[in-house]
Amino acid sequence: MTDMIFSFLLFLLSFLISFAVLRKLKILPNRINPIIAVIIAFYFLSASIYYSEDLMQILGYSVLFLFVAFAIALIYSSLFKKEEKEEKKV
């Protein structure tokens, strides 16, 4: 069940990104952009089925990296705010 949800979300994400890029670049007419985006998304989906275990592992590490980067940014910003407040008091 999770594989089906993951595949659908991956298809949707790849469709939306490819459609946005094609629309922004204005290479093709507007009526052809969704068709090309669906084709790209199906190719991406077929490749993701073959590499599904690797993609899940990469996705897990990237989410972990985002949490660590967010925590470091929060700690850094809180330390910077304290120093800024102390400078204003003096």
* Model confidence pLDDT, tens digit, residues 5-47: 877 888 888 899 999 998 999 888 888 889 999 998 888 888 8
pLDDT band at residue 82 under the 50/70/90 scheme: low
pTM: 0.55
Q: CA-to-CA distance for 81 and 90, rounded, in angstroms? A: 15
Q: Is residue 23 within 8 Å of 40, Cβ to Cβ?
A: no
Q: Tell me, what DSSP letter sits at residue 19?
A: H
Residue 76 CB-density burial (10 A; 0-12 exposed, 13-18 middle, 19+ buried): exposed
